[in-house]
């Protein structure tokens, strides 16, 4: 459906001719400037604008990367985490780390977010970073760390294929 020369997307919850659901997909290399600013990929900006109608982001440190959630997804995550902590008290330590380190970010006019120095240091983010879509959120990795931790070896693909077949995805 066209709308003033652009595609018109509709959210699934509108119940109208369901348009495409936009997710965070793909990988791209970016550079952090001296202030720790990251320009968001245009396709991720579109997901925030169209799918979430809100550009506010929750930025959380994780083991070797930073995880970035749209505010609506983060609120769902918090509710699930709270319920998990009630049922499994051993997860409280993890909740303290995640919730204590989260920062709300609003992109500036150039669609950049600032990653706090402490978070960049803790997650070992240098100037060259890789932004990777994870469907409902995205991650920021130091480029070299992503290559070391995530680039699959040729023998990994056989295991991937078996796992996908097992889940009916291949």
Enter the tokens of residue 125: 């983010």
User: Is there a domain that residue 10 lies in?
Assistant: no
Does the pLDDT of residue 66 top 90, yes or no? Answer: yes
* Residue 11 resides in a domain: no
For all residues of the chain together, what is the average pLDDT? Answer: 87
The whole-number average pLDDT for the span 142-158 is 89
Residue 107 lies in a domain: yes
Residue 17's pLDDT band (boundaries 50, 70, 90)?
very low
Indicate if the pLDDT at residue 37 is higher than 90: yes
Task: Evaluate if pTM is beyond 0.85.
Answer: no
How confident is the model at residue 18, as a pLDDT? 57
Q: Which structural domain, as residue segments, surrounds residue 91?
A: 23-144
When pLDDT is averaged across residues 69-74 and rounded to a whole number, the result is 96
The CATH number given to whatever domain includes residue 74 is 3.40.1550.20
Please check whether residue 163 lies inside any domain of the structure: no
User: Looking at the domain assignment, is residue 8 inside a domain?
Assistant: no
Inform me whether the pLDDT recorded for 12 exceeds 60: no
The yes-or-no verdict on residue 152 having pLDDT over 90 is no
If one counts the domains in the chain, the total is: 1
């Amino acid at each position: 459906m066209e709308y003033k020369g652009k595609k018109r997307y509709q959210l699934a919850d509108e119940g109208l001719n369901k348009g495409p659901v936009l997710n965070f997909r793909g990988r791209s290399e970016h550079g952090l400037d001296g202030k720790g600013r990251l320009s968001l990929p245009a396709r991720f900006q579109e997901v925030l604008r169209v799918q979430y109608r809100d550009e506010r982001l929750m930025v959380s440190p994780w083991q070797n990367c930073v995880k970035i959630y749209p505010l609506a997804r983060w609120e769902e995550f918090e509710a699930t985490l709270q319920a998990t902590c009630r049922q499994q008290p051993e997860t409280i330590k993890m909740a303290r780390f995640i919730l204590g380190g989260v920062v709300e970010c609003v992109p500036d006019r150039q669609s950049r977010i600032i990653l706090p120095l402490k978070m960049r240091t803790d997650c070992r983010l240098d100037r060259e970073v890789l932004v990777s879509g994870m469907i409902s959120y995205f991650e920021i990795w130091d480029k070299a760390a992503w290559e070391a931790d995530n680039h699959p070896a040729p023998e990994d693909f056989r295991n991937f294929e078996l796992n996908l077949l097992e889940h009916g995805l291949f």
